[in-house]
Amino acid sequence: MVVEMIENIYRALFYLEDLREILRETAPEHHLSEEQRTKFDHIADELQAMVDERGGRKLKYITDKLELRTKEEEFINIDPIQAAGRLTVEARKALIAYGDGYSTCDYCFKPFRLDYIKRPPIAEFIEELAEFVGMDVARVVRGARNGFQIVATALLEKGDIALVSSLAHYSLCLAIESVGAIWKEVPLNEQNIITGENTAKKIEEVNEQTGTMPKLIAISHFDYMLGNEHDVYGIGRVCKEYGIPFLYNGAYTVGVMPVDGKKIGADFVVGSGHKSMAAPAPTGVLATTKESAARVFATTKLKGDVTGRQFGIKEPYLLGCTVMGAPLVAMMASFPTVKERVRHWNEELERSTFFIAQFLEIEGNQVSSELPRKHTLTKVDTTGSFDRIANTHARRGYFLYDELTKRKITGIFPGATREFKLNTYGLSWSQITYLANAFKAIAEEHGLSVG
């Protein structure tokens, strides 16, 4: 029934896009040819039939080979990276209205730069973004990784060393490698945490071994692997002491919890739109202080040797305008909700904590992340529970995925029964309860004791 409802909604949405297409084809006079008229009437009839619940044909594909995606409507999605990147309804509406290539550029006037555009209110949004993360200046970038790249390109020379976490995301390491610099890792302490102390030790070590200081320290507040909280305040202090720029990686914080970059002592704050700001990929934010803005948002200096051309206030490390279209407008449309939701992070943690407690009631279940949980992203260890079942199950490790899918839960890596990650961000209490009960039921049905 629900699946039919989803299909019906998609069908109606698509009929409306078909109607819209006829308006586009015939603009501005909208004289419909006979063929267009027939098509228009047909679509309107289909839509009417659908609203009258007179049924309709099955819908599985958008176009050749491209399936509908109904994961968010049919399932509880606990995918570790997807949870906080789900669009708000406002963002989905914005995508509908601003899909076309250069849709944001209708009112781009002097000085011709994305972050100056007033209609839609991009300039205002970007100012608010800086404030939102407690910094002076911000830009929307093409994903958090593009933020890392901009900083790496501006600050690092070939052979320079940058320090990252032993749990750093690969994209940060690639950004450093891409400019010919080298990343070295700050070790975790015994609690799997990056501390200010270990960061200082590593700085000294690098200095001893190479005779130079690291040129950048880039650490995530919460890492992608365990969702542990790292001592960004301590690291911020150490960076200040040594005079090394500190990039705060907020891919898992900006957009879900309050972030105050200056209080942390960050020179750069990087966030991810599609990971934590209810925005489509590829979007992100790079924010900085007034002082560092001059470096990373430096304007172009070269001049044409033949024409004498210069490109004014364009920013080379950003390549000028960044995300000039649909994903930006969708990010903006989500922003009021995002600003509000960070104030309710504690409620998210409560639900996550509730789920983890329930999950740990299953015999043999463990949590690899720090406890108590400070994030909705958690790595769990079911080697002593679900993996034991997998050993003798006909479907091996896939049994867990199958059982969850049957219960309309998605986002767990297929086949994984030892360690896997999940993220409860955005689930309501009833969904959280449903999720916890589902895991318990699967455990019980397979002979694990619960309780």
Site for a second copy in 93-152 (CB under 8 A): 93-106, 109, 119-121, 124, 142-143, 145-146, 148-149
Indicate which single residue of 252, 297, 317, 425 sits in contact with a second copy (rule: CB under 8 A): 317
Footprint on residues 344-373 left by a second copy (CB under 8 A): none
Q: Does 394 bind a second copy (CB under 8 A)?
A: no
Least separation, in Å, of the C-beta of 92 and a second copy?
Answer: 5
Smallest distance from the beta carbon of 237 to a second copy, in angstroms?
A: 22
Site for a second copy in 44-63 (CB under 8 A): 44, 47-48, 51, 62-63
CA distance 296 to 155: 8
Burial track 184-194 (b if 16+ CB lie within 10 A, e otherwise) = bebebeeebbb
Residues from 402 through 431 that contact a second copy (CB under 8 A): 407-410, 414, 428, 430-431
Provide, rounded to whole angstroms, the least separation between the CB of residue 263 and a second copy: 27
- Closer residue to a second copy, CB minimum distance, 146 or 369: 146
Stretch that binds a second copy, among 86-94, 130-138, 260-268, 358-366 (CB under 8 A): 86-94
Within 8 A by CB and 6+ apart from 238, the residues are 196, 197, 199, 200, 203, 217
Q: How far is the CB of 166 from a second copy (least distance, A)?
A: 5
309: tokens are: 């051309």
Size of the site for a second copy (CB under 8 A): 136
Tokens of 345: 């992070």
Task: Output the DSSP codes for 172-199.
Answer: HHHHHHHTT-EEEEEPP-TTS---HHHH
Q: CB-wise, 202 or 264, nearer to a second copy?
A: 202
For 30, the token pair is 């909208």
Q: Which of 39, 56, 74, 450 binds a second copy (CB under 8 A)?
A: 74
Sole binder of a second copy in the list 325, 352, 356, 389 (CB under 8 A): 325
Which tokens in the block code for residue 130? Answer: 């800086």
Which of 37, 38, 241, 336 touches a second copy (CB under 8 A)? 336
Which residue from 87, 130, 133, 412 is in contact with a second copy, where contact means CB under 8 A? 87
Among residues 302, 392, 394, 447, the one that binds a second copy under rule CB under 8 A: 302
ω into 282 cis (within 30 of 0): yes
Indicate the residue type of 313: I
Task: Give the pair of three-digit tokens for residue 198.
Answer: 């270990």
Contact pick of 4, 32, 39, 81 for a second copy (by CB under 8 A) = 81
Q: Among residues 189, 300, 391, 449, which is the contact residue for a second copy, using CB under 8 A?
A: 300
Whether 443 contacts 433, CB under 8 Å: no
Rounded to whole angstroms, how far apart are CA atoms 300 and 27? 40
Number of neighbouring beta carbons within 10 Å of residue 432? 18
| 418 touches 381 (CB < 8 A) | yes
Query: Using alpha carbons only, how large is the chain's radius of gyration in Å?
Result: 25
Rounded to a whole number of angstroms, the minimum distance from the CB of residue 407 to a second copy is 7
Q: Which of 436, 422, 419, 424 is closest to 381 using CA atoms? A: 419
Residue of 332, 335, 243 whose CA lies nearest to 292: 243
Of residues 164 through 223, those in contact with a second copy by CB under 8 A are: 166, 170-171, 173-175, 177-179, 182-187
Q: Which of 39, 201, 295, 314 binds a second copy (CB under 8 A)?
A: 314
Q: How many CB atoms lie within 10 A of CB 213?
A: 15
Q: Cis link prior to 372 (omega < 30° from 0)? A: yes
- DSSP at 142: S
Please state, in angstroms and rounded to a whole number, the distance separating the CA atoms of residues 426 and 59: 28
Q: Which of 35, 57, 306, 447 binds a second copy (CB under 8 A)?
A: 306
User: Binding to a second copy (CB under 8 A): which residues in 7-36?
Assistant: 9-10, 12-14, 16-21, 23-25, 27-31
Among the listed ranges 4-12, 233-241, 343-351, 355-363, the one in contact with a second copy (CB under 8 A) is 4-12
CA angle (445 as vertex; 440, 448 as ends), nearest 5? 65
The Cα–Cα gap between 346 and 212 comes to 42
Closest distance of CB 236 from a second copy, Å? 21
Q: Please report how close the Cβ of residue 84 comes to a second copy at its closest, in angstroms.
A: 8
Q: Which is nearer to a second copy, 86 or 230 (CB)?
A: 86
